[in-house]
Structure 1
Amino acid sequence: MTTYKAVVITLSDGAHQGKRLDTSGQRLAALLRDSEFDVIQTEVLPDDKAMIASSLAGFAAAPDVDLIVTTGGTGLGPRDVTPEATLEVIDREIPGMAEAMRMKTLEKTPMAMTSRQVVGVSNRTLIVNFPGSPKAVEECFDVVRPVLHHVIRLIHGHTEH
């Protein structure tokens, strides 16, 4: 199996300012490594739409990045702008993956219906938004884990079965 390269971006004013630990990003990186991804970079950014979009676009333009995952900024707070930044960068949306995460986690908490994560493709890179808590990251990752490698293969043009 090909080892794909991934980038983890945590979006949190508090973590960026050093006021809280980036436990969600660390958990997401560990889940990716356990799923045979090579996490080549992690980054912590503030909840700033322009900075998020710029980072996503930069990584998506890199020839060696297959997957970008974000954690944080998918709620309803005034500074939760991750979905908007992601929509600015992606070429094609994959709504079924985001819907599946919300539907499955809705079985555990009604708060899942307020999560606004987006999944899509920019260039040949898959971008997946995850919520900001380590527990929600784990629950949502379990939903998309079975299809991540398959989706990346398709994005790269490997459409034979």
Structure 2
Amino acid sequence: MDLDTARFSFGVLTMSDKGSRGEREDTSGPYLLQTLQDLGYQQKAYAIVPDQVESIQKTLIAWVDDEKVDLIITTGGTGVAPTDVTPEAMVDVIEKDIPGMAEAMRAESLKKTPNAVLSRGRAGIRGKSLIINLPGSEKAARENLAVLLPCLAHALDKIHGGTSDCGV
């Protein structure tokens, strides 16, 4: 089943203290923007915020509740460093967890590095928006997004009330 990705908007949110201060170039965010645009999704938002729960939550909630962004991909803050707080920010943002997405990313990453077990990224739904946390490095973001690309349009279609069979 081929779904029209052009009907879905997306945003990319990068979590980086240094990036938010202009001290580090964000490479994973631009990669994600270009990849999703190339696949036909419509860019609606992009931002870099500090690794702070409140900043992350405020941005995600505004993008979902006010701007109605269909797909939000975050990058950064999913590890075990003291500043990695993206999963904690998701607690009060996500209404429905989708553990299979995060499990699939970790399982595929584990084939490449034992450090994949340290990833704490989540995926879930708020309203009619799908939010997915990816690691902050461009390489890891690229590899993790590749795991989910085959199911993204179908997931968004279902979240928006699509009635097509999942087994087709």
TM-score range, shorter chain: over 0.9
The answer as to whether partners of 2:51 and 2:84 remain within 8 angstroms in 1 is yes
Report the Cα distance in structure 1 between the residues aligned to 2:17 and 2:5, rounded to whole angstroms.
35
The answer as to whether partners of 1:61 and 1:123 remain within 8 angstroms in 2 is yes
User: What's 2:157 paired with?
Assistant: 153
Match 1:11 to one of 15, 18, 22: 15
Q: SS at 1:9's partner residue?
A: strand
Report the Cα distance in structure 1 between the residues aligned to 2:14 and 2:55, rounded to whole angstroms.
12
Report the Cα distance in structure 1 between the residues aligned to 2:66 and 2:40, rounded to whole angstroms.
20
Cα distance, 1:28 vs structure 2: 1.0
Cα distance, 1:63 vs structure 2: 5.3
TM-score, length basis structure 2: 0.93
Q: SS at 2:92's partner residue?
A: helix
Report the Cα distance in structure 1 between the residues aligned to 2:35 and 2:108, rounded to whole angstroms.
18
The answer as to whether partners of 1:87 and 1:118 remain within 8 angstroms in 2 is no
Letter in 2 for 1:143: V
Could you give the per-residue CA deviations for residues 63-111 of structure 1, whole angstroms, max 9, x where no partner exists? 5410011000001111110011112101100000000000001100111
Equivalent pairs, count: 161
User: What's 2:56 paired with?
Assistant: 52
User: What's 1:92 paired with?
Assistant: 96
* Large movers: runs of 4+ above 4 Å: none
Letter in 2 for 1:128: I
Alignment of 1:19-38 (within 5 A): 19-38=23-42
| Alignment RMSD | 1.0
Match 2:82 to one of 75, 78, 85: 78
Unpaired runs of 5+ in structure 2? none
Report the Cα distance in structure 2 between the residues aligned to 1:136 and 1:90, rounded to whole angstroms.
23
Cα distance, 1:31 vs structure 2: 1.5
Report the Cα distance in structure 1 between the residues aligned to 2:56 and 2:124, rounded to whole angstroms.
15
The answer as to whether partners of 1:35 and 1:145 remain within 8 angstroms in 2 is no
Letter in 1 for 2:26: D
Report the Cα distance in structure 1 between the residues aligned to 2:45 and 2:67, rounded to whole angstroms.
14
Whether 1:106 and 2:135 are equivalent positions in the alignment is: no
Paired-residue identity, %: 44
Could you give the per-residue CA deviations for residues 39-79 of structure 1, whole angstroms, max 9, x where no partner exists? 12210000010110111111111354100110000011111
Report the Cα distance in structure 1 between the residues aligned to 2:110 and 2:66, rounded to whole angstroms.
35
User: What's 1:139 paired with?
Assistant: 143
The answer as to whether partners of 2:105 and 2:144 remain within 8 angstroms in 1 is yes
Cα distance, 1:159 vs structure 2: 2.2
